[in-house]
Amino acid sequence: MTHPPRHLADLALAERRAAVTELGEKPFRADQLSRHYFARYTDVPQDMTDLPTGLRATLAAELLPRLLTPEKELTCDNGATRKMLWRLYDGALVESVLMKYPDRVTMCVSSQAGCGMGCPFCATGQAGLTRNLSTAEIVAQVVAGERTLTAESAPAAAPTATSRISNIVFMGMGEPLANYKNLIGAVHRLSDPVPSGLGISQRSLTVSTVGLVPAIHRLTEEKLTVRLAVSLHAPDDEARDELVPVNRRWKVAEVLDAAWDYAAATGRRVSIEYALIRDINDQPWRADLLGSLLKGHLAHVNLIPLNPTPGSKWTASRPGVQEEFVRRIASHGVPVTVRDTRGREIDGACGQLAATVTGRSVGPARKAGSHLLPLA
């Protein structure tokens, strides 16, 4: 198997300096290149006017290869939500979403092309895993988002709360903790200050996991301050075994124990993700069980109305049922919100957007299985 081309975002700053030295150049050239990429979001040699003309193309070719080619772009919510489909060097497709709010900008990124976890309600899960993304392929999605924001703002305008990406969620395609090493690399590149990285606070990054217990423990040991989201979807093993097949390996109790360890180590509230599926996991007793499991822990429940995949037998809960579910969780003193469904009206929504391009689509390309949705 070949690898994506080496990119400076795969390397720590010291490694970039070493790479530049190997090319016969002074180490500070690595810092200059890094500033172009992480502060100006450019990889175009002509933009690099602080580098000798003869050197620009060589260094860019060595350390700033283009990793993402735009394949398709869709906007909705009057341009506030923008979904991007990217083609990688080997033809694999991944999606990311940029969501603008009045006071912040959230970017949802993919960590893998496809996903091997097989959750039956998820469009990405149904297509299986193509491959892990490299650290630089993850980071490049965010840099592309920053570039879009910069292009949209007036050149001389003073920076505002929405002129840069403020939050990043690893809720696009893939299971981030199944691509552990490259995920950790990406967290560092996104959060390290310029010129090492993009300088986005770790506290503003959310890693969402299906519940890979050993990897959650490992993440706890990293001593990072990223937020952890756990996709629980059921408080009992019977339902979770079906909705989240990895539950057959790591049960609800083990997943929650790992989450509480993470919360204790970081002091950060864990977000419990729960896609509400009509008559499958939305019964009042399940809300009560969930509330009692989470009560007294550093947790917050984020309910997601199911976005059905084409041909799926499952659909979202009835509104009254959803409200009752919220009410019951809250009655245990557990904070709960319902995720907004931004971006859903886009035809060929996420997961499906990739499927339509590869011809894997099995149904009409609309409202399909998107999980690239913002946190509430």
Helix axis angle, 213-221 to 252-266, nearest 10°: 10
The yes or no reply on residue 115 touching ligand SF4 (CB under 6 A) is: yes
* Helix (H) or strand (E) segment spanning residue 4: none
The yes or no reply on residue 175 touching ligand SAH (CB under 6 A) is: yes
The answer to whether 73 and 82 have CB atoms below 8 angstroms apart is yes
The answer to whether 201 and 187 have CB atoms below 8 angstroms apart is no
The yes or no reply on residue 207 touching ligand SF4 (CB under 6 A) is: no
* Residue number with the smallest Cβ distance to ligand SAH: 371
The yes or no reply on residue 175 touching ligand SF4 (CB under 6 A) is: yes
**Alpha carbon distance 195, 215 (integer Å):** 29
369, interface contact from ligand SF4, ligand SAH, none, CB < 5-8 Å by kind: ligand SAH
* Residue number with the smallest Cβ distance to ligand SF4: 125
The yes or no reply on residue 210 touching ligand SAH (CB under 6 A) is: yes
CA separation, residue 260 to residues 209, 227, 268, 282, 321 (Å): 14, 12, 10, 24, 28
When binding is defined by CB under 6 A, the residue of 126, 134, 141, 208 that contacts ligand SAH is 208
User: Residue 338: beta bridge partners?
Assistant: 303
Shortest approach of ligand SF4 to residue 302 CB, angstroms? Answer: 14
Q: What character string, x for contact with ligand SF4 (CB under 6 A) and - otherwise, covers 216-255?
A: ---------------x------------------------
Task: Provide the token pair at 228.
Answer: 């952890």
Find the Cα–Cα–Cα–Cα dihedral 298, 248, 95, 170, rounded to 10°.
20
What is the full DSSP assignment across 87-103? E-TTS-EEEEEEEE-SS
DSSP-derived 3-state class of residue 353: helix
Stretch near ligand SF4 under the rule CB under 6 A, chosen from 91-99, 112-120, 213-221, 249-257? 112-120
**Alpha carbon distance 250, 238 (integer Å):** 13
306, interface contact from ligand SAH, ligand SF4, none, CB < 5-8 Å by kind: ligand SAH
**Alpha carbon distance 351, 373 (integer Å):** 12
The yes or no reply on residue 209 touching ligand SAH (CB under 6 A) is: yes
Enumerate the active-site residues. Answer: 95, 350
Nearer to ligand SF4, 36 or 344 (CB): 344
**Alpha carbon distance 246, 61 (integer Å):** 41
Nearer to ligand SF4, 10 or 175 (CB): 175
- Site residues for ligand SAH, 288-307, by CB under 6 A, read 304, 306-307
DSSP label at residue 271: E
- Site residues for ligand SAH, 228-257, by CB under 6 A, read 231
When binding is defined by CB under 6 A, the residue of 41, 64, 125, 177 that contacts ligand SF4 is 125
β-strand pairing of 205-209 with 112-114: unpaired
**Alpha carbon distance 205, 217 (integer Å):** 18
Half-sphere exposure of 140 (CA within 13 A, CB side): 30
Shortest approach of ligand SF4 to residue 275 CB, angstroms? Answer: 8
When binding is defined by CB under 6 A, the residue of 37, 86, 121, 325 that contacts ligand SAH is 121
Shortest approach of ligand SF4 to residue 255 CB, angstroms? Answer: 13
Shortest approach of ligand SAH to residue 103 CB, angstroms? Answer: 23
Give the binding site for ligand SF4 (CB under 6 A): 115, 117-119, 122, 124-125, 174-175, 210, 231
Give the binding site for ligand SAH (CB under 6 A): 115, 121-122, 171, 175, 208-210, 231, 273, 275, 304, 306-307, 309, 369, 371
